[in-house]
Structure 1
Amino acid sequence: MLTPVIDEDGAPFWEYAARGELRIQACAAEGCGELRFPPRPCCPHCQSFDSEWRLMSGRGRIWSFVLPHPPLLPDYADQAPYNAVLVELAEAPRIRLAGNVVSAPDAPLNSVDPTRLRIGAAVKAVFTEIDGVTVPRWILERG
């Protein structure tokens, strides 16, 4: 797996993920409150350097997805066919997170039949530790 590069601005995201929480950085300036991802030091809306991390429900919808085709990165080739998705968060439709839809937190990347994926399908965040980093993944919600 490609492990994330954890920088100073994004470190809290990964610390919260290790606790099983999906949190998104928000501007803490009075009157702004805009959510932003990826994390950065300055609000692109009001230029404030004040920020906080807001807890999200972990629910969202598949905004886009792809099924990679060969040639694949060697670490992923044995898991094909797998998916890569962009998930639009329910509370923050302008925030989209990349990841994979799996059948369970620790399931392999190819654990969901690709024919089950649809734009707009409801998903929920789950977390698993890979190579010492806890990463969010997504499971399809029923109903």
Structure 2
Amino acid sequence: MIESFFGVFALAIVELWAAIPLGIHLKLHPGLLIVAASTGACLGAVIAMFLGNGLRRLMFWRKSKSKEGGRLSQWLAAKGPWAIGLLGPLLIGPVLSAGLAGAIGLPRAFSLALLAAGIVFWTVSFSMLGTFGLAALR
């Protein structure tokens, strides 16, 4: 059982949507599955956020003379953390969402908090759907 927990945790660091079916297949308790997948995905997101921030510094090493951005940068500053944090784990995965947030320079703490909330919400949703869906088929 501990091997299953750490296997799901390790896989969730890289890919959350593969870790949930693995936990269901290994007959991990839904509570443990949610904890393992959520914490693994959050760890992967934190790592990706720091790598994305470093990537942004490498790509945009020159300082822009213009202090104002265009419409897209204003939209990203206002709505970017919410969109990437809550919808990113579902649409493009938590690791890529965190890397994107770090690369475009969104506020790190706020983006990670929203990303963690999105990861937990989608992990609970899909874990329960998978567990109870399989139970209903039997």
Q: TM above 0.5, one fold?
A: no
Answer 1 or 2: which has greater helix percent: 2
The TM-score normalised by the length of structure 1 is 0.25
The TM-score normalised by the length of structure 2 is 0.25
